[in-house]
């Protein structure tokens, strides 16, 4: 990536934009606005930059950049002649999956690289940008995943990430992940999800209506827990050590920024945290850009 690319990325908060989007703050000078955002605006989910939505975030990737998108399913974040796709399923398998769950099979792109086990080592090319949407939290070995992505990037490349904010999705009652857990999973070379992760995802989740979460309605903790737990244990035992696709990690924008920065500072991952765009009101995800 050219050096000037990094200079063009919008800041997490721009005082002029913040003021124009929120007329009730129009009387505040810039320093007061920034203080307001830090103390109140972020928690209120106020928009503080020119990114309209997730598509605007993805559009920050230059059209000329070579891109690998991980896990596009039937709704890729990016399309175009410079975009390649990696998935655990083939194009035909993704089409059938889309049909089975009411997705748009016509949206499935050609899958250039396939690995049923998610091994990025099957990709034999390097890119300016790697992008993934709601993929990071599924990685049994998060550090290993980030190291693998780094190996696919050209010097100065970027990893664009759309990550669920656990406070505004079905993970609400599950504790934030901590850096010790992440390091242990890497040292133990996790390839499959633990029973703990499967129980959390199957038996401890709640509704996934992000607006309801923003409004304070988080559902009922442990609802139907006995039944859900028994079904989860049955599923795990029947898998006989095979892969079950669940969330392994739970982040907020602040926790992700802190953990990834610490992992970078200790050279466990070869990335720096360049941008973290916090979760917007009514949404359930935040956006990150890691710099190789």
CA 236, distance to chain mean position in Å, is 25
Instruction: Kindly list the domain boundaries of the chain, sorted by start residue.
Output: 1-50, 59-166+249-291, 179-239
Q: Would you say the pTM of this structure is higher than 0.85? A: yes
Confidence of residue 148 (pLDDT cuts 50, 70, 90): very high
The total of other beta-carbon atoms located within 10 Å of residue 219's CB is 15
The reply to whether CATH 3.40.50.150 applies to domain 59-166+249-291 is: yes
Q: Which two structure tokens, joined as six digits, stand for 28?
A: 């505040």
130 forms beta bridges with 68, 159
Integer Cα distance of 287 and 184 in angstroms: 25
pLDDT digits (tens, 9 = 90+) for 28-53: 999 999 999 999 999 999 999 999 99
What pLDDT was estimated at residue 117?
87
Residue 291: in which H helix or E strand, if any?
Answer: strand 285-291
The total of other beta-carbon atoms located within 10 Å of residue 37's CB is 21
Integer Cα distance of 47 and 13 in angstroms: 8
Q: Look-up: residue for tokens 């904010």?
A: 165
Is residue 2 scored above 90 in pLDDT?
Answer: no
Integer Cα distance of 133 and 287 in angstroms: 9
Residues 136/269, Cβ–Cβ less than 8 Å? no
Is residue 180 scored above 90 in pLDDT?
Answer: yes
Q: Which two structure tokens, joined as six digits, stand for 243?
A: 């892969």
Integer Cα distance of 167 and 211 in angstroms: 11
pLDDT digits (tens, 9 = 90+) for 65-99: 999 999 999 999 999 999 999 999 999 999 999 99
What pLDDT was estimated at residue 3?
73
Question: How large a percentage of the chain has pLDDT more than 70?
Answer: 100
Residues 247/138, Cβ–Cβ less than 8 Å? yes
């Amino acid at each position: 990536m050219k050096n000037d690319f990094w200079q063009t990325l919008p800041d997490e908060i721009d005082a002029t934009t913040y003021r124009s989007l929120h007329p009730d703050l129009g009387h505040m000078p810039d320093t007061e606005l920034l203080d307001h955002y830090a103390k109140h605006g972020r928690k209120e989910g106020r928009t503080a930059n020119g990114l309209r939505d997730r598509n605007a975030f993805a559009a920050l990737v230059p059209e000329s950049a070579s891109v690998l998108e991980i896990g596009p399913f039937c709704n890729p974040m990016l399309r175009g002649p410079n975009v390649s796709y990696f998935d655990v399923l083939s194009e035909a398998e993704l089409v059938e999956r889309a049909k089975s769950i009411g997705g748009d099979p016509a949206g499935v792109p050609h899958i250039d690289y396939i690995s049923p086990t998610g091994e990025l080592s099957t990709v034999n090319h390097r890119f300016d940008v790697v992008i993934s949407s709601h993929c990071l939290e599924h990685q049994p070995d998060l550090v290993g995943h980030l190291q693998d992505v780094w190996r696919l990037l050209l010097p100065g490349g970027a990893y664009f990430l759309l990550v669920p904010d656990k406070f505004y999705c079905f993970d609400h009652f599950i504790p934030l992940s901590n850096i010790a857990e992440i390091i242990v999973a890497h040292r133990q070379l996790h390839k499959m999800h633990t029973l703990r992760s499967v129980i959390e995802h199957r038996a401890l989740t709640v509704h996934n209506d992000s607006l309801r979460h923003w409004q304070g309605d988080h559902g009922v903790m442990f609802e139907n827990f006995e039944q859900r737990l028994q079904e989860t244990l049955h599923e795990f035992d029947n898998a006989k050590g095979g892969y079950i696709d669940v969330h392994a990690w739970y982040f907020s924008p602040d926790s992700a920024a802190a953990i990834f920065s610490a992992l970078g500072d200790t050279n466990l991952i070869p990335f720096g945290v360049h941008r973290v765009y916090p979760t917007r009101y009514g949404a359930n995800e935040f956006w990150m850009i890691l710099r190789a």
